């Protein structure tokens, strides 16, 4: 699997969860570690994901927030947050599928080769999707393709990324663990 394909699988997984959100939960608090906001809510997290999706075409074109941030003070969610997110997700997907991708992605935390950067973006999306689903009781599983891609392109970097604070400590998988559980344990996200 290519890193771009991994991103597309992870982005689709997050969208699958977002499309199942109940707007009645938008004001519900979410774990503080999900955000830098003082009192994060589900709608706030959705807004951060919308912002992230809006940036994908720009990042793929080699632009960075340091060049100017056209999304900083924009209401990206409008009156229909889920539909607005989906529209941004469609644009991000189209940008990745176009194949017109810069060699280096310029994130706020540093510049990375496109392949590694796609793994960063995929990791964030996959495990936010999992965490949101788990927190709000949404039926969801990582796809076999996403699990395989994560095992191939992310797990080999887990210990290094864990040192950077990306992943919590690994968890010993239960004896009867399936592929999804083993992946979640390896990256420290599994919750019984």
Which is more confidently placed, 108 or 94? 94
* Furthest CA-CA distance within the chain: 50
pTM: 0.93
pLDDT of residue 5: 97
Span 23-51, pLDDT tens digits: 999 999 999 888 877 789 999 999 999 99
Rounded Cα–Cα distance for residues 163 and 30 (Å): 25
Which distant-in-sequence residues (6+ apart) come within 8 Å of 107 by Cβ?
A: 59, 64, 117, 120
Span 4-18, pLDDT tens digits: 999 999 999 999 999
168: helix, strand or coil: coil
pLDDT of residue 121: 94
Q: How far is CA 158 from the centre of its chain?
A: 16
Whether residue 19 has pLDDT greater than 90:
yes
Give φ, ψ of 47 to 5 degrees: -60, -40
Average confidence (pLDDT) over 64-81: 93
CATH code of 3-144, in short, is 1.20.120
Domain boundaries, the chain: 3-144
Span 136-167, pLDDT tens digits: 999 999 999 999 999 999 999 999 989 988 88
């Amino acid at each position: 699997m290519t890193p771009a394909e991994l991103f597309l699988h992870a982005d689709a997984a997050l969208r699958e969860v977002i499309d199942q959100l109940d707007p009645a939960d938008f004001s519900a608090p979410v774990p503080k570690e999900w955000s830098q906001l003082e009192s994060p809510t589900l709608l706030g997290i959705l807004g951060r994901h919308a912002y992230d999706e809006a940036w994908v075409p720009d990042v793929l074109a080699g632009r960075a927030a340091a060049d100017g941030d056209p999304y900083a003070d924009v209401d990206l969610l409008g009156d229909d947050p889920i539909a607005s997110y989906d529209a941004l997700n469609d644009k991000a997907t189209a940008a990745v599928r176009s194949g017109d991708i810069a060699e280096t992605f310029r994130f706020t935390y540093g510049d990375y080769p496109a392949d590694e950067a796609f793994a960063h973006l995929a990791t964030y999306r996959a495990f936010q999707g999992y965490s949101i689903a788990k927190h709000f009781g949404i039926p969801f599983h990582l796809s076999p393709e996403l699990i395989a891609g994560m095992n191939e392109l992310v797990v080999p970097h887990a210990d290094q990324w864990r040192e950077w604070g990306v992943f919590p400590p690994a968890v010993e998988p239960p004896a009867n663990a399936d592929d999804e559980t083993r992946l979640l344990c390896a990256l420290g996200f599994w919750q019984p």
